[in-house]
């Protein structure tokens, strides 16, 4: 692959950027969530927030918001589709490579953007478990 091709976004990346799935429009009151996770990207300083609705230990629904770039938006849109219906354990095991494969490869220099979503999801799951541990005690 020459240097120029590495700047080209796949059709799937463009579609998920232009039509992001499960994006939270408006404020948090627009979505009935059980837990939220937040993460910052140490490389660029962008942030991601992920909201999860959980039922029977599965991700029933998810919403997200970000200050991140087009790659972060497309990656998290893809992640939100991959995560729905999965158990909490399965959802946290979705990797940046899974997202990259789903989107047909991000440009290599944008790969760091694809980790924001699943790190925020992992944080949301951690917070969900902490809240529910507190409730059951
Ligand atoms: S450059 Fe910050 S998330 Fe992509």
Name the DSSP letter for residue 87. B
Q: How far is the CA of 113 from the centre of ligand 1 (A)?
A: 5
Q: Residue 115: what pLDDT? A: 84
- Rounded to whole angstroms, the Cα distance separating 100 from 116 reads 13
| pLDDT tens digits along 26-41 | 999 999 999 999 999 8
Give the closest residue to 124 by CA, choosing from 13, 22, 26, 19. Answer: 22
- pTM here is 0.89
Q: Is 69 a catalytic residue?
A: no
- For 135, counting Cβ atoms within 10 Å of its Cβ (0-12 exposed, 13-18 middle, 19+ buried), the class is exposed
Q: How far is the CA of 7 from the centre of ligand 1 (A)?
A: 15
**What domains sit in the chain, N to C, each tagged with a CATH number?**
19-136 (3.90.1010.10)
Q: Residue 3: what pLDDT? A: 47
Q: Residue 59: what pLDDT? A: 98
Tell me which of 38, 44, 75 to substitute to probe ligand 1's pocket, judged by most ligand atoms within 8 Å of the beta carbon: 44
């Amino acid at each position: 692959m020459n240097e120029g091709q590495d700047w080209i976004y796949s059709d799937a990346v463009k579609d998920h950027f232009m039509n992001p799935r499960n994006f939270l429009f408006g404020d948090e009151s627009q979505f009935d969530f059980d837990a939220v996770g937040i993460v910052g990207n140490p490389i660029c300083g962008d942030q991601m927030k992920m909201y999860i609705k959980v039922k029977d230990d599965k991700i029933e629904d998810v919403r997200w918001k970000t200050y991140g770039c087009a790659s972060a938006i497309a990656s998290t849109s893809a992640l939100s589709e991959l995560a729905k219906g999965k158990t909490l354990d399965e959802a946290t095991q979705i990797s940046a490579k899974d997202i990259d494969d789903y989107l047909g490869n991000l440009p290599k220099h944008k790969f760091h953007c694809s980790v924001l979503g699943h790190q925020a999801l992992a944080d949301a799951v951690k917070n969900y478990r902490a809240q529910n541990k507190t409730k059951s005690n």
